[in-house]
Amino acid sequence: MAIKDWPAAERPREKLFDRGIAALTDAELLAIVFGRGVSGTDAVNLARTVLTATGGISRLAALERHRFTKFPGLGDAKFCALQAGIEIGRRILRHQMELGCPIVDAAGAKRFLIAELGFKTREAFCALFLDTRHRVITFETLALGTIDSATVHPREVLRRVIEINAAAVIFAHNHPSGVSEPSTADASLTRTLCQALKLIDVRVLDHLVVANNEIASFADLGLLE
């Protein structure tokens, strides 16, 4: 049965109009993005099949084009539509973190960093540089690595902090493995950075480890020195 033949209250678009976007399941959201299914399968069931095969919406969103389009019914058009939707969300969050915007709570920074780092398949070490009033100066990627490591040189981080004239910084990196728990190496690097930046009166407000939609905070875990 095609979606157009479903009861109106069960159709994804009508459900969105009547109950709001939060009422939709992951499969229903993807069905709207996909637009249509394939012969014998409507868009919602296509989305359910793909979500089950990939392990969820985060893993699906992280797929590279050649892997995404291997699924029957998922071609370049659907890949582009999904990536465009993800990027729109990222840009909205970037706008909230743009020059001059203060970090008023940890939740806003966490949402931004999950959007920036949660879907990456390579490890990246990044920083939000802040002024004395915790307003955003810039967000930068300081190191890129392989699937499970990124080499960070504290002296380069220190040099960049001085160049930007930051008063505080929030570090973040991702774990493509999907496990947000900080490693021993993460803790060691964070101690080194905190000690180095303390010498020039720059505060490290947090170091966040992002894994898909999960995030671990060094500040919350009591691991900042």
Indicate if 172 and 206 belong to the same structural domain. Answer: yes
Q: Are 71 and 39 in contact (CB under 8 A)?
A: no
Whether 222 maps to a domain, the answer reads no
Q: What is the pLDDT of residues 52-90, one digit of tens each?
A: 999 888 788 888 899 999 999 899 999 999 989 888 887
Strand, helix or coil at 54?
helix
Last residue of a domain, one of 38, 63, 88: 88
Q: Do 15 and 82 sit in the same domain of this protein?
A: yes
Domain termination residue (choose one: 63, 88, 113): 88
Detail the DSSP E strand segments found in the chain: 124-130, 136-144, 168-174, 203-211, 214-217
Q: Tokens 């109106």 identify what position?
A: 8
**β strands within 62-213, DSSP E:** 124-130, 136-144, 168-174, 203-211
Domain that holds residue 45: 3-88
Biggest distance spanned by C-alpha atoms of the chain: 68
Say which residues have a Cβ less than 8 Å from residue 69's Cβ, sequence separation at least 6. 75, 76, 79
Token digits for 37?
């299914």
| Residue 75 belongs to domain with CATH number | 1.10.150
pLDDT top residue among 54 and 102 = 54
223 assigned to some structural domain? no
Could you tell me the CATH number of the domain that includes residue 125? 3.40.140.10
Check residue 187 and give its pLDDT: 92
Query: What pTM was estimated for this model as a whole?
Result: 0.68
- pLDDT confidence tier of residue 147, bands split at 50, 70 and 90: low
Both 117 and 67 in one domain: the answer is no
Model confidence over 6-18: pLDDT tens digits? 776 778 888 889 8
Task: Write the DSSP symbol of residue 135.
Answer: B
Strand-pairing partners, residue 135, are 102
Residues 103 and 170 both lie in one domain: yes
Task: Please indicate whether residue 146 or residue 26 has the higher confidence score (pLDDT).
Answer: 26
Highest mean pLDDT among 86-95, 124-133, 142-151: 124-133
Residue at a domain's end among 66, 88, 110: 88
How many structural domains is the chain composed of?
2
Residues in contact with 117: Cβ distance below 8 Å, sequence separation at least 6, in sequence order: 124, 126, 172, 173, 174, 210
